[in-house]
Structure 1
Amino acid sequence: MVHSAGPTAAAQRVWFITGASRGLGRAFAEAALAAGERVIGTARDVAPLEDLVARYDGRLIAFPLDVTDRAAVMAGVRRAYDTFGRLDIVVNNAGQLLYGMLEEVTEAQARAHMDTNFFGALWVCQAAVPLLREQGSGHIIQVGTVGAGGGFSCVGMYGAGKAAVDAISEALAMEVESFGIKVTKLQPTSYDTGLFTTGTTATEADPAYAGLRARLAELWGGESSDPHPSQAAPVLMELVDLPDPPRRLAVGGYSYDLSRDADQARTAEAERWEHLSRKGG
């Protein structure tokens, strides 16, 4: 069945989504299409999007894109803009997980991980901002993680990449605000996105960490109860309709609680050691 009804072309927003073939990226693409909007979906492999391309009668354009290739990103974002004549919502969602202790991470693994999770997002921003600035509007959505505020055993590199994206997003929001461009960092809960399977690279395990690995396996083991990514989509759809959206938004009750608790713990620790901090002048 082909879905072509919806707002007129002039009223339809245009989305550009990286990592659109699965997980949150696909859920966001489906929600935007269901709302009658137009989507450019990219991923290294866009074959999983073929059913949506066929279903939505020209409102979804999918093409391969490796976000680690800066020249390809520049050309890809320009291609997306030229396809529908504008961009309204840019979703930096492409990412992967490097699982392992920091001591175990090779230089090649670390660089490859940051190329995707940090530099990929940076290249997309650099490509999109001039176009959004020229049209005087746009909303950049940076898909992060609830863990970006601090590291955690075995996923330290993932947290580092997302923390770096958080930092440049804060700067970007200040830099582009006067051009009518908004920036929001999403901090989603642990959704069932396939990140821990198809999106994971693992280090070579050092026996010295066997005990910690066993404790983590016990902590993370058992039946997964992570919500489906589609549960996050209504949040994003409401967010992009806001005239004055937040710069940071926890998505999911667990994410909200974890962020709140982490903020409270940091404040409590700072207050505990205030006397020592103030000795510094």
Structure 2
Amino acid sequence: MKKVWFITGASRGLGRSLTELILETGHFVAATARDTSSLTQLQTSYPEQLLAIKLDVTQQSEVYHAVDKALARFGKIDVLVNNAGFGITGAVEAYTEEQVRSQLETNLYAPIEITRAVLPHMRSQRSGHILQVSSVGGRVGSGGVSIYQAAKFGLSGFSEGLAIEVAELGIKVTCVEPGGFKTDWAGDSMTYAASIPDYKIVNQRQEIFQNGTFVPMGDPKKAAQVMLDIVNEPNPPLHLLLGSDAVAIVKSSEAAKLRELEHWEKVSSSTDHDDSPAFLDTDYGKRYLDLKK
């Protein structure tokens, strides 16, 4: 069965690889980008399958107009891919207000609003799959990309709650969490805050990105194939890491978090009321954990 995909940031990087693969396999794509000129060749090759839509994801009115255009052309949206975004590197205090706002508006507020725009239609269909392109940086913090990670952590939290809300409506949600991939994320798409010499870790990360010594391991074409395959899974994952680097980073981080939790567990639990029942014995506790399964 042919699906209709709505992809943001489709002109380059992972979004471009995914758009090309979907078209090659015979599906339909509403491909959005700030500048759609780079999609002209694809539009010529796939005139019936591809609808290129000019979209600034930070503009709410454009978001709803783009969704309406896709629905008018194809009649439905089966898969939403919130892929548009960019990175920024710097120390927390070094970012300008505009840099902070642009990160949150593009990498967090925009995917939330686009999801909200598409949800009523998926709810009406009682089907759909939302792929939120997050990052391993949405699972594990690291110095130098704190504002980028603030957006990606927020997207993961939003998506986990969303997945619980829409499960009974036949809608699935997957956070796609790549490690380093051979796209222009750390190249032309990367922006920088002013350097502050005291922040050595941050400056080292900036230097790695700027001097070309950052060597990403991931292949965007392989990632696109995985994303295409995952929407056909009857029970897709809520979190999907991409890249062996992402797997290694998260395994190490989760083990450290568990050790810390266990070390401080008695202190954490000591703040309950003296007459409080065990959380897992309460109806709320049982329902909460059941929803998270």
Q: TM-score, normalised by structure 2?
A: 0.87
> What does 1:66-215 align with in structure 2 at a 5 Å threshold?
66-209=56-199, 211-215=200-204
Q: Indicate whether 1:216 and 2:228 are aligned.
A: no
3-state SS of the aligned residue for 1:61? strand
**Which of the residues 246, 259, 267 maps onto 1:276?**
267
In structure 2, the partner of 1:252 is: 243
Distance 1:76 1:198, change over 3 A: same
> What does 1:32-51 align with in structure 2 at a 5 Å threshold?
32-51=22-41
CA distance in 2, matches of 1:98, 1:225: 17
Q: Indicate whether 1:27 and 2:17 are aligned.
A: yes
CA distance in 1, matches of 2:120, 2:12: 28
- Match for 1:205: what amino acid? S
**Shift, 1:214, TM fit:** 4.8
Count of residue pairs brought into register by the alignment: 270
- Match for 2:234: what amino acid? P
Distance 1:56 1:188, change over 3 A: same
CA distance in 1, matches of 2:64, 2:105: 15
- Between stretches 215-224 and 67-76, larger displacement belongs to 215-224
**Which of the residues 51, 58, 72 maps onto 1:61?**
51
3-state SS of the aligned residue for 2:10? coil
- Match for 2:82: what amino acid? N
- Between stretches 145-154 and 124-133, larger displacement belongs to 145-154
- Contact between 2:140 and 2:250, CA under 8 Å: does it hold in 1? no
CA distance in 2, matches of 1:182, 1:90: 10
3-state SS of the aligned residue for 1:268? helix
3-state SS of the aligned residue for 1:118? helix
In structure 2, the partner of 1:262 is: 253
Q: TM-score, normalised by structure 1?
A: 0.91
- Match for 1:268: what amino acid? R
CA distance in 2, matches of 1:278, 1:129: 38
**Shift, 1:213, TM fit:** 4.3
- Contact between 2:6 and 2:80, CA under 8 Å: does it hold in 1? yes
**Shift, 1:179, TM fit:** 1.5
In structure 2, the partner of 1:240 is: 231
- Contact between 2:77 and 2:128, CA under 8 Å: does it hold in 1? yes
Aligned-residue sequence identity (percent) comes to 37
3-state SS of the aligned residue for 1:141? strand
- Match for 1:262: what amino acid? S
